[in-house]
Structures are given as structure tokens and as C-alpha cells.
Structure 1
């Protein structure tokens, strides 16, 4: 089986875990790669098709032609349903891109029953299947808590809550920081990656004339707007790393933590949940989307993203757990078992 994955391989090792255990031959490529005979096309994040950049009208026309041609060739199109919307906001072109993928896809692969049930009603003519997200057994170094803390210069007595993943939105950042202020735990430490700053309200990147005129004002605005954030970062019980994020840094952070916190407020899925499971850390995540089902099935902790006091209480409970007992609940997420499901899918599509 030869499957074309649209887009280039990126830093997220999610599908690498499946490839290593799969009998299917996967190739990463673009919509120009039409000379090879593929048995199926696989689309992950729609925006990845254009290297995470907004497609032009011409790009969308080319993509439409690509999809129509694959349909004429009876080449199945499979969409792995990561997101309902782009993380950093939608434009009309991104809306069109998502709709094209959903319209032409023959199969939707979901990470949980929530999105499967929702989109079965919207697209009943499609095939909808649930295939679990894999654990990251091969992608990250499983080091001890002591070694992780030594690398990050964190005290052994600290109660470390690792904010997994990049804080993408101001609402996520503010929610997490408010919880931090309310969390009355001795030796607490919030650990995360580059903290989202308050930005100037006008995007000057493509406006050369305005950039020259407003740059001084922008600097003053951002200095003042981030005053409180700088004060928080100066605190000894909050540590946001400014270093580039890679698998080694993430391994250190997860290993060093007592609790892995998923900071999403309106997302469908989060790969960071499975990162926490991989290191056998107690995971705390929002009771929304497919995440709610996964957290409940595994015995992890969940919180209502509209109730900050509930998050604070949940974090306190999670910090008191010495070691989670996920056990057999994770077996379906082992890469070899997930890869088997993907292989069966593609074999069935060819029949």
C-alpha cells in the first residue's frame, strides 16, 4: 500500500510513531506529486497542505483540481480529524480550505466518539472511524524525574505542574495564570514554554509605511502592556523557558513534572495528553471535545474550562497522586496497535 500524506514532515512526531510500526508505505508530498500511483491520499491538518500559510485563491483552485482528479481516479481521500478550526483563527480562505477537505474526503478518522458522532450527522455519506492517537513511545527520551529536574535546575521538593504545549491564545494564558495565583500549594512551580505576550493591536508586518511611523509607539505599548507579566515571570514559582522547543527540552519538562496540565479551553484534541500518558504522569485536561472521553476512560483528571476554582481544586488533587495507574487503559494507544488499525483501514479501502 502506497499512501501520499499531503504536506512535509514536521516536528510533531505523532505519525512517526505509526509509520515505524506500519506495513503501509507512507510518502510526504505536495499536491504537485501526481506522477506516482498512490492507493490513497491522507490529509492531517488542512493548513499543513500549504506549509501552514494561508492559501491564495489560486492555491485553492489548484487544490480543488487536485481533489477532483483524485476522485476521478477513484483514489480514496482520508482525513485525520485533528481540528475543527485553525488554532490561530480563520480567514475566508482557510474556511474554504477546510470545507474542501471535508467535502472531498471519503473517510474521516477521529480520535474519539465526540467528533465522530458530531460529524456523522453533518456528513452521513462519509465513512467515520475512531482510531486512537498513539503514545509517544519512540519519540521522546524517558528519563527520570531527578534527571529532568537537574537539567532544568528545579528543586526536588518543588510541586511541578507542566503546562504542556504552546499557549496559543490570551484566554488560555490568563486562565492558567489566574489558576496559578489561586493555587495555595507550598513549593508550587508552574513550568512551561515561551509565555504569550500582549501584542500591539495593529499588525505592522506587511505595512512598511505604518511600521516606520508606529514602531516607537508599538515598543512603548508592549512594554506597558506586559508589565504584570514581567512581574509574574520574575517570581520563583513560575518558570517559562525561552529556549527553542524540541524533543529533548520537552522530555526534560515532562520528566521533571508531577502533573501535566493541558491548557486548552476550546479545542477538540490534544496530543499533549498522550505525552503525559507516555511518561506515566497524572494528566489534567479540559472536559471538552474528544479530550473529555479520553481523560475519563483512563482515570485522568478533567476540569470545566469555564470554572477556574474547579481547575484549582483538580490540580490540588492531582498533585497528591504519587503515581497514576493507567494500566490496560493505554493498550489501545500503543503505536503497534494504532498502526494495525491504520493498516486495516487502507487494506479495506483498496478492496
Structure 2
């Protein structure tokens, strides 16, 4: 079995594809994987049994329009290559490009199978694409990457933060002014003894990134905003991430528009209580697992109080047990492998 993926692992901002394919290879060592978007546009694609499309909006550019992609996928299918898509988004994030929006639509429509990370997107797309097989394959946890979550005491020492606080972790890029406003509101309304860690926020707060801010960063590594929000100017690397997860009791997903989030599975795997928006697959999974959802930012401070109590009562440990039982790399890899094999037989 030979599978061509439409993206490069080297350019990925998260380890989703690399860890998933490693887990599949563990289940089926003979499987051959290639990660290359350029091969879609030449004859190399015909050497593969399956073309698996991830984030189809990135397949279009100045050289290739969405209509070019549509015709190319039709040609690829006519030559006997099966097409699978993973539904990461219903549409590109905060994107005004009709070309990119059409690319998503055309890729889903050309697929033999769409892998969904939750039931919500199946319900959204099954009527739009009735001739496509829709399969529920959840987002896997990174249990083979983060094999050891340190204690909170170890994490505090490593990060240079006090163990006398409850910490809320907000990971990922800040995508809009709305998200900045959400974090600003939450930070202003945190109770004494609670701090929020939002590594990417300082990159998005405009004029506040002044000489004083720079000085404080290089001197202390951390910026405190409203005295309750900590940012360390950038993306947390894979070596430090377990310490941030360990120091936190709560994971807050700061999105207002979202379908899926790896931070949900990441937080639950780490034993955090999770708060997120009541939309998309994220909202459905949080409700199903007994975590917390919000419809507007002004609900979040109350939910943080509830989540703190839940964390002290063992909700984080039950979240971790659920994640290990239902979203392990091995479990999800077997589901993907079965999906591939069903196409080939």
C-alpha cells in the first residue's frame, strides 16, 4: 500500500500527520508514505494507491486555481488512484479567498472517503456529498510523542513559575481581534490566585510590544499582562510543551470560530479540565466528555471557577483515562488503516 499525502511534515505547525503516520507504520510496516504537494501535479501521483488530502486550501496558489485542482483530481481518479480527505475545517480559517474556499469544496466532492474528527462535521457534510463515504476517525493523542508528563512541581521549577497559582493554558496562534478580546476579558476577570498562560498573545497586541516589554521579556522570559496573563513570545517547542501542560489545571480553547482542535485532545491527555466554544466537533466532544463549553466570552470566568473545582475533584484524571482509552495513536491508526484497506479491496 502506497499513500501520497498532500502536505509536508517538515512544514507542519503541529505533529498531527507525522505522529499519525508513524503509528500507522507501526501497525503496517509495509506501508509506504510520501509527503509532497507537488507530486499531485505530475505523473508521480500515479505510482500511489491513495492520495490523502490534508488542508486542501493550500493546494491552490498563483499557478494552480481551484478549477485546476478540480480537473486534476478528476484525472487522478480516472487513473485508478483513490482519494481520501481529512475534514480539518469546513472552510479555511478567516479566509476571504474564494479560490481557497472552492478548493475545499472540490476536494471533498472528489473524495472516495472523508475522515471526520467528530460527528458534527459528518452531519454537516453527508448531505452535501452523498456519494462520498463519511467515516468518524477521532483526533489521536500524541501519546508516542509526549510519553512522560512531569509533575507540577517539576514543571514549576523548569519554567520558573510559582507553584502557588492555578494556571490556565491557551495554546495556538491568535487568529483574530475577537480572540485577543476574549483573552483580554478573561485575564481582567480572573480571580486572585489564578494566572493564564497564552504564549502567542504578545505577538498580537500591537503597541504594547514596546521597549519595556522587550526588556522584561529578555530579563524574565515572561510577560505579565494585567498581572495575570503570561506570554513568552512565540511557539512552545516540543521539549517544553509537557511542562506547560503539567503546570496547568485547565486548558482554554480561545477560538470563537472552530470545527476541530488538537488542544482538546492534548489537554485531556495531559489531565487538564477543558473549556472551549460550544460549536463544531469541539463543542460536541466537550459536552460528551463532561467538560465545559461557552457561547460568549462573558461565560468563561464562571466556567473557570467550575473547572477549578472539577480539577480538584479528579476530573483531569478521568479526562486522561478517557483520552488514553478512546484516542490513542494505536487505536486511531488502526481505524485509518482499515479505511485505506477497504478502498483497496
Give your verdict on TM over 0.5. yes
Q: 1:145 aligns with which of 152, 169, 177?
A: 152
User: Match for residue 105 of structure 1?
Assistant: 111
Q: Which moved more, 1:281-290 or 1:61-70?
A: 61-70
Pairing partner for 1:13 from 6, 11, 15 = 15
Secondary structure of 2:95 counterpart: coil
CA shift for structure 1 position 32: 3.8
Pick the aligned partner of 1:159 from 158, 166, 178.
166
Q: 1:331 is matched with which residue?
A: 325
Look up the SS of the partner of 1:246 in the other structure.
Answer: coil
1:183-222 correspondence to structure 2 within 5 Å: 183=190, 185-195=191-201
The aligned length equals 321
* Contact 1:112/1:294, CA 8 A, preserved across alignment: yes
Unaligned regions of 5+ residues in structure 1, if any? Answer: 200-221
Deviations 1:132-166 (A, max 9, x none): 11011122352222222222211001110111222
| Structure 1 residue 249 displacement after superposition | 3.0
Whole-Å Cα distance in 2 between the matches of residues 279 and 224 of structure 1?
Answer: 32
Distance (whole Å) between structure 1 residues aligned to residue 243 and residue 339 of structure 2: 36
2-structure distance, mates of 1:277, 1:80: 22
Q: 1:303 — aligned with what?
A: 294
SS in structure 2 at match of 1:190: strand
CA apart distance, 1:34: 3.1
**1:34 alignment partner, one of 30, 33, 43:** 43
Partner of 1:91: 97
**Structure 1: which 4+ aligned runs deviate by more than 6 Å?**
none
- Structure having greater relative contact order (Cα 8 Å, sep ≥ 6): 1
Distance 1:144 1:176, change over 3 A: same
CA distance in 2, matches of 1:284, 1:153: 25
Q: 1:312 and 2:297 equivalent?
A: no
User: 1:267 touches 1:288 (CA, 8 Å); kept in 2?
Assistant: yes
Q: CA deviation at 1:187?
A: 1.4
Contact 1:168–1:196, Cα closer than 8 Å, also in 2? no
Report the CA distance between 1:130 and its aligned residue: 0.5
Whether the 8 Å contact between 2:53 and 2:86 is mirrored in structure 1 is yes
Q: Deviations over 1:17-76 (max 9, x none)?
A: 3222212432111224533521111011113436xxxx1254545534431221111211
Structure 2 CA distance for partners of 1:197 and 1:243, relative to 1, 3 Å: closer
CA gap of 1:263–1:15, structure 2 versus 1, over 3 A, is same
Distance 1:335 1:242 in 2: 31
Q: 1:248 aligns with which of 216, 239, 255?
A: 239
Q: Which residue of 2 aligns with 1:223?
A: 207
Distance 2:141 2:228 in 1: 30
TM-score, scaled to structure 2: 0.85
Q: 1:123 to 1:60 in 2, by over 3 A?
A: closer
Task: Check conservation: 2:269, 2:323, Cα contact below 8 A.
Answer: no
